[in-house]
Structure 1
Amino acid sequence: MGDWSALLPHLSDADRRQVETGVAEADERIRAVLRIASTYFWGSSVTSVPEWAAVESWPAEERRRAALAMHRESANGSIPTALNDVVRNLAAGDVPFTRADLVWCLEVVARGGGFDNGAHLELPALIAPRLTAAELADLVPALSALVSELVDDYFIAAGPRRRAVTLLGRAIDRATGSRLPAWLLHDGDTFGPAVRADLGAALVAPGVPELLEHCAALDKPAATAKWLRRLDELLAAAPGGRQVVRRLLDAFTAHGRTIHDDSDRLLRGLGWALSRERDEKATDLLARVTASAAAAPRQAAGFPHAPRTAIAAVRLLADRDGDVPLRTLARLAVTVRNKGVRSRVQAALTQLGARRGWSLSEVMELTVDDHGLGPDGCLRTPVGPYEATVEIVDDRARLVFARDGVALKGVPAPVKRAHGDELTQLRDVVKRVGATLVSERQRVEGLLSEERTWSYPDWSSRFLDHPVTATYGRRLLWETSTDGQRWTAGLPRRDGDGWTIVDRDGRALAHGSVRLWHPVRASTAEVLAWRGHLVAAGLAQPFKQVFREVYPRTPAEEKTHTYSNRFAGHILRYRQANALLRARGWQAGYLGTWDGGYDSEATKVLGGGAWRASFHQALVDNPDPHHYDVEYCSTDQVRFARHDGTTWLPAPVIDVPPLVFSEAMRDVDLFVGVTSIATDPQWADRGEDRFSAYWQRTAMAELTPSAQVRRDALARLLPRMAIADRVDLTDRYLRVRGDLGAYRIHLGSGNVMMEPDDAYLCIVAARAQTGRLHLPFDDDPMLSTILSKAIMLAADHRITDPTVLSQLRPTEIDSCRLSEWTTGA
């Protein structure tokens, strides 16, 4: 344990002898009972076996000595049995514990290691609250330091740790006369001390401490009727209780960071307290609490700020009326990465949609927040003599100021000085619009796996007139049909006050049903024609659609019947792969060197919730036994399941709808194509032979569908570039002719080989540079990387990077520079 033991008062020799003599007398007797009892139960409590009945009849003094003996055993760890119940049973009732007993117990805790079940904390936590304030006075420093250490000790199970902190906290409160329990809002996180300092006297107002204790005692997401009755009584007895509930929850929404598990439990109860209020402000606050609790810091990779609060708040929010709950939950459905929270969000949305006769997809679609933006995607607000505009530009929200119609750079100084609150509100709008843009991009792209159709008026209002969704809907290709059989593709174009769909020649198409165009349903000729149209017109789509990869089933996959091995056997950089998995909406357990951590099944729901794809990955052991970080994982099968009520039923590959199959396989191809070690240009320099064969085989392999699309995009882009006369496209490579030599860039991995002997050239691009070249999509970083390498190699005589120069042939460099010197170039 920590330095808290140095704060313990000295135990006199007489007191120590009195305690330890009693322990010695009880030691063998209690051991004998435990030896017999442990033959019945191994690794669990023994207080329910027949032999224990005799112990319960022992006199109080004998039970005291036995409890002290068991405390020593629990701290020394010599009996591998969970002793929590044993110690609590022995200490129950009117057992005459003394102050000396508590000091001795604390000394034993300080010396011993203890079990992770916290049995070594049971007895001191039980004794301390029984002593008087006078007996506890000189123990407060040590007890306070111990509690501070325990709140961060995650090696002890949550239940025993919380019980010990609560009981020891009550003893401290008795000794200090504190009205606010020490174990509430403790310093295990930054949230507790901050609200203690901010709310101050409000937290100790009449009835408030009791209300907070009750809220913190809620053990499950759902409150029982008995718990709620007591909650209502406490709210009625505390005049300022309801206001404190709101202030605490409001402070949490502004905190924006992960909180301690104890604070999480308190906030969960506070959420239930807030739910007793039915006004709109309470609904708005509950919505903000839900979003804040479900949010996750970047480094936590999906673990929410307050998971217990999030799960309870989702349920509470789903029981409220109005559009705020729908909008909040719809946004969370596409942004939350935690599996447990996300499943509850989707269930809540389904419940809310059922009340209004909507499917889950319709709920998501109809509840997109417009944040007050007009049809042009702008919100204009006067701020003093200036006009502030929140606008959407290039898929991003921004705040700009103007005066007398003249745009200004940055925020005017007078606005900062005199209109700070308004500026804060406007920046908050920008932040919220940005969050909606992110979630809408993910949602609209997810529609590519669904067989959804809309009536023309519904489609126009939801995808072209909505100020946020229109950012994406107006740049996508759609199909329209009047009979549901023959579909014609076109792009949206404004027509007077409304919108129409026009084909490549600008002819308006007949209005009817509308669906999102997907290349899997189109002919090769149509796909190529639309690709050419996009490049010629300089149109940039929000994500790959016209240039989207297509993955039809192969004979091999139909033969395996239940799975696909198309992307099995690859070696991926695990951390990068895991981050990309989650960014694409897949959920997966973490890999690690613990039990059950050696493999994982990543899953994603597609097709509007009707289908689920699963992608198996396994840990690749690190040869260094002292290195525990997971660097690499291997890939395996992709499988599919159909949703059947509340269960998922495995489905043959041949039964999976083409849209679902293609979109799932596209994601897996993306994971492999981006995070495979074969795309690492520095791999050959590492001297690591484990994966050399895989790297050599994959780095120059046949092109996957994503690389084939990349090749087609290059075929359309390169003729427009200044290096057009120096490049040629082959089946797998972009060949570049420089002044020093010729090079081949693999279109899948981006690796470069030098002709004529295929010597590997390592080029690490700090940042892809393609000049002012227009790209029809921006979600293929490898395309930009290949173009930047091609531009550099086409002018290889200008390369100054010493790491690249050292790999080029010295004779060619020297001869080129001699030529420049003699010609005066």
Structure 2
Amino acid sequence: MADVADWTALLPRLSDADRRQVETGLAEADERIRAVLRIASAGYWGSSVTSVPEWSTVDSWSAEERRRAALAMHRESASASTPTALNDVVRALATDDAPFTWADLLWCLHVAAEGHCFDNGAHLELPAMIAPRLTAAELTDLVPALRALSSKLVDDYYLAAAPRRRAVTMFGHAIDRATGSRLPSSLLHHGDTFGPVVRADLDADLAATGVPELLQHCAALNKPAATAKWLRRLDELLAAAPGGRQVVRRLLDAFTAHGRTVHDDTDRLLRGLVWALSREGDERATELLARATTSAASAPRQAAGFPYASRTAIAAVPLLAERDGDVPLRTLARLAVTVRNKAVRSRVQAALTQLGARRGWSLGEVMELAVDDHGLGPDGRLCRAVGPYQATVEIVGERARLAFARDGVALKSVPAQVKQSHADDLADLRGLVKQIGATLVSERQRVEGLLSEERVWSYPDWSSRLLDHPVTATYARRLLWETSADGRRWSAGLPQRDGDGWTLVDRDGHALDHGTVRLWHPVRASTAEVLAWRAHLVAAGLAQPFKQAFREVYLRTPAEEKTETYSNRFAAHILRYRQANALLRARGWQAGYLGTWDGGYDSEATKVFGGGAWRASFHHELVDDPEERRYDVEYCSTDQVRFARLDGTTWHPAPMIDVPPLVFSEAMRDVDLFVGVTSIATDPQWADRGEDRFAAYWHRTAVAELTPSGLVRRDALARLLPRMAIADRVDLAERYLRVRGNLRAYRIHLGSGNIMMEPDDRYLCIVAARSQTGRLHLPFDDDPMLATILSKAIMLAADDRITDPTVLSQLRPYENR
């Protein structure tokens, strides 16, 4: 056992007399048990040894013989190289009538400390079984060592979860017997920061009549779904504990405020607690269950796929879906677009589908109707009096903001009087701003996801759910929609204010018929229509929340139809893996992390499109440096993109020709984004790194033919450049933006952003700031490469004013030419 000095030093010394007493007859018992094991394992490899016929001979042994055999097996389990079945053997031998003593326990602890540590905890099985059988007086001098050992085990992730929990629980029983503690020490332990805090805050309540037994029962729930038997016992314990229901609520309240990852043992306890809360039918219980579900499913920003309490989240999601009212609907809808953990997310989707079916809605309608308005008015504002001041929470752009005014005069900051005398009101308002911000983030993702769906609305539903909703309208009012009276001929338009409401108008300002409405996508439009809308948006100065008119379109190629089941369009690229993985997750793709471990050399990233009916898979694999073995992955290479269709609950591979155009285009756009943003060819400092093994790829890709994202970028530049001060110094070519500086000319590749200096195409490394684009209006804000190219062009057009020594050192050899 690794690092045992801290607890073994607390063990009493085992006298020679005690050792002789324990080891008397051990050799004989050792031989007898080995004989049984040899026979059993030879004929029944892989099965439990205690279930085979040869084991029946043990039934004839006396209690003392079984005691000695158990001690012999304990010594074997602490030193054998294959202790696979020894847990069951020890349990079968250490029956209740076996006369174990204080000396036996001390001897077992010393043997365990001197032996090896196996993941099945066989070396701890016997001492964990003996300890709770001893009297409080016998355990007194062992409590310090047992506490230290239990503390060590809590954080020992070399042990499998089940044997670790069993050992901690049984040692905890012994410690509690010796100390007279009412609350089991195995619950709410120091394995996380949550346990000690709630023990201190709820000390007396946790030890009240019936509460410890209730908490133990909650912690014993081994699966997400509770059995009828477990629930009957839960109801009995809730009835027997006068303060039990209140403790359940206070513990879950404390967890929602904790905001951090909890230990696996605490996660299991919380799972049982949400089941206990689900027995309450009031509205406050529903709200608390919703908060607990959200907290459990939340995750650290740097580890988005690892929730704070995944077991609790998985159990709570279906429980929340069974509740009435809007709170479950809104909570689950928000989780559907924010949760990154695959297991939790799949349960959220299933719960929403179930909830929608029960209320007569499709999944899309469920997500739509669930959007919280947070009490905002149609103008996206909420006003509230706070003392002599007027507080306003409003959506500005795509952010929520809190502002104060007095007597109609806006204030620059929060008044000191509000901070001092109305701290609670201020906290509520700031909390509201945070909640609105979270809803804005999830709504942006949801609305953009509609681009892969063949979703239609009646005009009244579309208007009320999207244009008039104070949060969703932030995005819907800046997007193109199209309407049709017969479902065949569609006319596109932009929302425009019409009196107190909004209506859809075409480019000439004419109102469109109020028929069926759908979200406009360029894949369904003619080239002329797309170009016309792009020109209209630029002229009107309208910035869309994400690319729509300027959105890239990806159509199936003959090569993809020939391969039938996969696309190699974006295969064989070298990506900066950590950046690529982060972007994958940000775009809602689920993927296993690459690494130099078994199963970590390749990964399949997946994302659901088309309202849940289609799934895209993007294959990528680790690029390993044979000369430098690294634990973390620096690069990955891209491979095939495949599609699958949902049939019931099963995904079936689909031919490329069957994939709907919207689904295909949106999935391939994401993959192009991953390559375009994270490829080493877009790294402006790559040329100086000396990575010879990727040199050919870098030079090939850095000046490659433009992908659809590059073509859209070229079209955007064609519309933006004439409006800029550098218009007379730039020329737009097929793949490049040529910039004429005062010293020489440069070519900026429209795909990678790399710069070549004329006349000999020498590479120029510039890391430019986006802020150099100034106040130039961009029709969208989700293409960082466009802003990068513009900032580089502005800098190079005035190359004689460059003062950056890094850039000057690259320009200097040409200054006199």
TM-score of the aligned structures, taking structure 2 as reference length: 0.98
1:196 to 199, 204, 221: 199
**Where do residues 339-738 of structure 1 align in structure 2 (5 Å cutoff)?**
339-624=342-627, 626-738=629-741
Query: Equivalents in 2 of 1:394, 1:769: separation in Å?
Result: 22
2:162 to 134, 159, 162: 159
Structure-2 change in CA distance of 1:532 and 1:795 (3 Å): same
Q: Which has the higher mean CA deviation after the structures are superposed, 680-689 or 154-163?
A: 680-689
Amino acid at match of 1:399: L
Superposition deviation, residue 231 in structure 1: 0.8
Does the CA contact (< 8 Å) of 1:519 and 1:545 recur in 2? Answer: yes
Does the CA contact (< 8 Å) of 1:476 and 1:541 recur in 2? Answer: yes
State yes or no: 1:743 paired with 2:746. yes
Does the CA contact (< 8 Å) of 1:147 and 1:169 recur in 2? Answer: yes
Query: Equivalents in 1 of 2:404, 2:43: separation in Å?
Result: 77
Q: Deviations over 1:254-284 (max 9, x none)?
A: 1111111100000010001101110000000
Q: Which has the higher mean CA deviation after the structures are superposed, 234-243 or 97-106?
A: 97-106
Q: How many residues align?
A: 814
Q: Name the SS of the counterpart of 1:444 in structure 2.
A: helix
Superposition deviation, residue 595 in structure 1: 2.4
Superposition deviation, residue 619 in structure 1: 1.7
Give the aligned partner of residue 73 of structure 1: 76
Q: Name the SS of the counterpart of 2:119 in structure 1.
A: coil
Give the aligned partner of residue 772 of structure 2: 769
Q: Which has the higher mean CA deviation after the structures are superposed, 416-425 or 467-476?
A: 416-425
Superposition deviation, residue 624 in structure 1: 4.9
Q: Name the SS of the counterpart of 2:590 in structure 1.
A: coil
Q: Name the SS of the counterpart of 2:772 in structure 1.
A: coil
Q: Deviations over 1:603-643 (max 9, x none)?
A: 11111111111111112223355421122221111111111
Superposition deviation, residue 768 in structure 1: 4.9
Superposition deviation, residue 18 in structure 1: 2.2
Does the CA contact (< 8 Å) of 1:134 and 1:175 recur in 2? Answer: yes
Q: Deviations over 1:324-365 (max 9, x none)?
A: 111111111111111111111111111111112111001001
Give the aligned partner of residue 48 of structure 2: 45
Does the CA contact (< 8 Å) of 1:56 and 1:90 recur in 2? Answer: no
Does the CA contact (< 8 Å) of 1:45 and 1:81 recur in 2? Answer: no
Q: Name the SS of the counterpart of 1:379 in structure 2.
A: strand
Unaligned runs of 5+ in 1: 817-825
Query: Equivalents in 1 of 2:437, 2:702: separation in Å?
Result: 38
Q: Deviations over 1:73-127 (max 9, x none)?
A: 2222433533211121121231111112211221222222221111111111111
Q: Deviations over 1:274-299 (max 9, x none)?
A: 01110000000001111111111112
Query: Equivalents in 2 of 1:764, 1:363: separation in Å?
Result: 45
Q: Name the SS of the counterpart of 2:811 in structure 1.
A: coil
Structure-2 change in CA distance of 1:467 and 1:36 (3 Å): same
Structure-2 change in CA distance of 1:22 and 1:758 (3 Å): farther
Query: Equivalents in 2 of 1:279, 1:83: separation in Å?
Result: 49
Give the aligned partner of residue 783 of structure 1: 786
**Where do residues 173-322 of structure 1 align in structure 2 (5 Å cutoff)?**
173-322=176-325
Superposition deviation, residue 488 in structure 1: 0.9
Q: What is the Cα-based RMSD across aligned positions, in Å?
A: 1.4
Amino acid at match of 1:391: E
Superposition deviation, residue 511 in structure 1: 1.5
Q: Deviations over 1:490-542 (max 9, x none)?
A: 10001112211111111111221111100001111111111111111110000
Does the CA contact (< 8 Å) of 2:84 and 2:120 recur in 1? Answer: no
**Where do residues 777-816 of structure 1 align in structure 2 (5 Å cutoff)?**
777-810=780-813, 812=815
Does the CA contact (< 8 Å) of 1:622 and 1:630 recur in 2? Answer: no
Q: Deviations over 1:181-238 (max 9, x none)?
A: 0000000000101111111211111111111111111111111111111111111111
Does the CA contact (< 8 Å) of 1:45 and 1:84 recur in 2? Answer: no
Q: Which has the higher mean CA deviation after the structures are superposed, 653-662 or 23-32?
A: 23-32
Q: Deviations over 1:43-87 (max 9, x none)?
A: 663222222222343222222222122222222243353321112
**Where do residues 127-142 of structure 1 align in structure 2 (5 Å cutoff)?**
127-142=130-145
Structure-2 change in CA distance of 1:130 and 1:765 (3 Å): farther
2:760 to 738, 741, 757: 757
Give the aligned partner of residue 326 of structure 2: 323
Q: Deviations over 1:532-569 (max 9, x none)?
A: 11111110000000000000111111111111110111
Structure-2 change in CA distance of 1:43 and 1:798 (3 Å): farther
Query: Equivalents in 1 of 2:147, 2:770: separation in Å?
Result: 52
Query: Equivalents in 2 of 1:526, 1:742: separation in Å?
Result: 36
Query: Equivalents in 2 of 1:19, 1:686: separation in Å?
Result: 67
Does the CA contact (< 8 Å) of 1:388 and 1:399 recur in 2? Answer: yes
Does the CA contact (< 8 Å) of 2:769 and 2:791 recur in 1? Answer: no
Query: Equivalents in 2 of 1:149, 1:390: separation in Å?
Result: 49
Superposition deviation, residue 703 in structure 1: 0.5
Unaligned runs of 5+ in 2: none
Q: Name the SS of the counterpart of 2:50 in structure 1.
A: coil
Query: Equivalents in 2 of 1:259, 1:160: separation in Å?
Result: 19
Query: Equivalents in 1 of 2:44, 2:570: separation in Å?
Result: 48
Q: Which has the higher mean CA deviation after the structures are superposed, 357-366 or 752-761?
A: 752-761
Query: Equivalents in 2 of 1:623, 1:505: separation in Å?
Result: 63
**Where do residues 57-72 of structure 1 align in structure 2 (5 Å cutoff)?**
57-72=60-75
Does the CA contact (< 8 Å) of 2:769 and 2:788 recur in 1? Answer: no
Query: Equivalents in 1 of 2:78, 2:692: separation in Å?
Result: 48
Give the aligned partner of residue 120 of structure 1: 123
2:105 to 102, 106, 111: 102
Q: Deviations over 1:704-749 (max 9, x none)?
A: 1011101111111111112212211111111112222222111111
State yes or no: 1:172 paired with 2:175. yes
Q: Name the SS of the counterpart of 1:642 in structure 2.
A: strand
Give the aligned partner of residue 820 of structure 1: none
Amino acid at match of 1:360: L
